[in-house]
Amino acid sequence: MKVFVSVDMEGISGLTDPEEMRAGGRGYERGCELMTGDANAAIRAAFDAGATEVVVTDSHSSGKNLRADLIDERCTLIRGPYKPMRMGEGLDPSFDAALYVGYHARAGTPGGVLNHTWMGSEIRDLYLNGEIAGEIRLMAAYAGSLGVPVALVAGDDAACAEAREVLGDVTTVAVKKGCGRYAAELIPPARAQQLVYDATGRALAGLDRARPYTVPAPYTLGVDWASTSIAHACSIVPGVKLAGPRMTEFTTDDYEQIVGLLGVWSTIAGEVGCTGLHYG
Among residues 170, 188, 209, the one where a domain terminates is 209
What's the confidence (pLDDT) of residue 120?
87
Q: Is the pLDDT of residue 278 over 60?
A: no
- Is residue 131 domain-resident? yes
Q: What is the pLDDT of residue 277?
A: 45
Domain containing 139 — which CATH number? 3.40.50.10780
- 267 and 136 in one domain? no
Residue that finishes a domain, picked among 156, 178, 209: 209
Return the closest-CA partner of residue 89 out of 133, 32, 139, 134: 139
Q: Does residue 214 sit within a domain? A: no
Same domain? For 169 and 234 the reply is no
**Beta-sheet pairing, 150-156 with 123-128:** unpaired
Determine which one of 60, 116, 232, 278 is catalytic.
Answer: 116
Residues 100, 185, single domain; the answer is yes
Regarding whether 261 and 187 lie in a shared domain, the answer is no
> Percent of the chain, pLDDT > 90?
95
List, for residues 63-97, the tens digit of each pLDDT value: 999 999 999 999 999 999 999 999 999 999 999 99
pLDDT at 279: 35
What's the pLDDT band for 275 if we cut at 50, 70, 90? low
Domain that holds residue 77: 2-209
Residues 205 and 223 grouped into a single domain: no
Residues 193 and 110 in one domain: yes
Of 176, 209, 242, the domain-final residue = 209
pLDDT of residue 274: 59
- CA distances to 15, 19, 38, 54 from 70, rounded to whole Å, are 18, 22, 11, 15
For the segment 101-124, what is each residue's pLDDT rounded down to a tens digit? 999 999 999 999 999 999 988 999
Q: Which residues does 225 contact at the CB level (< 8 Å), separation at least 6?
A: 122, 123, 124, 231, 234, 246, 247, 248, 269
What values do phi and psi take at 248, rounded to 5? -120, 150
> To 5 degrees, how large is the angle CA 170–CA 174–CA 175?
145
Instruction: Assess whether 93 and 161 both reside in one domain.
Output: yes
Q: Count the domains in the chain.
A: 2
**pLDDT average, residue stretch 240-251:** 97
Instruction: Identify whether residues 63 and 93 lie together within a single domain.
Output: yes
Q: Check: CB of residue 198 under 8 Å from CB of residue 171.
A: no
- If asked whether residues 238 and 187 sit together in one domain, one would say no
Same domain, 96 and 201: yes
The answer to whether residues 72 and 90 belong to one domain is yes
Q: Are residues 202 and 109 in the same domain?
A: yes
b/e sequence 26-61, b meaning 16+ C-beta within 10 Å: ebbeebbebbbbbbbbbbbbbbebebebbbbbbbbb
pLDDT, position 106: 98
Helix/strand/coil percent split, the chain, to 5: 35, 25, 40
CATH number at residue 265: 3.30.1360
pTM value surpassing 0.85: yes
Is the per-residue pLDDT at 186 higher than 60?
A: yes
d(CA 192, CA 212): 27
Radius of gyration of the chain (CA): 18
Tell me the mean pLDDT in the region 252-279.
Answer: 85
Strands of the chain (E only): list them: 2-7, 53-58, 76-78, 97-103, 123-128, 131-132, 150-156, 171-178, 184-186, 219-225, 241-244, 247-252
Given a cut of 50, whether residue 211 has pLDDT beyond it is yes
Cβ neighbourhood burial of 220 (10 Å; 0-12, 13-18, 19+): middle
Q: Is residue 54 part of a domain?
A: yes
Residue 116 appears among annotated catalytic residues: yes
pLDDT tens string 135-181:
999 999 999 999 999 999 999 999 999 999 999 999 999 999 999 99
The residue type of 132 is I
- Coil, strand, or helix at residue 100? strand
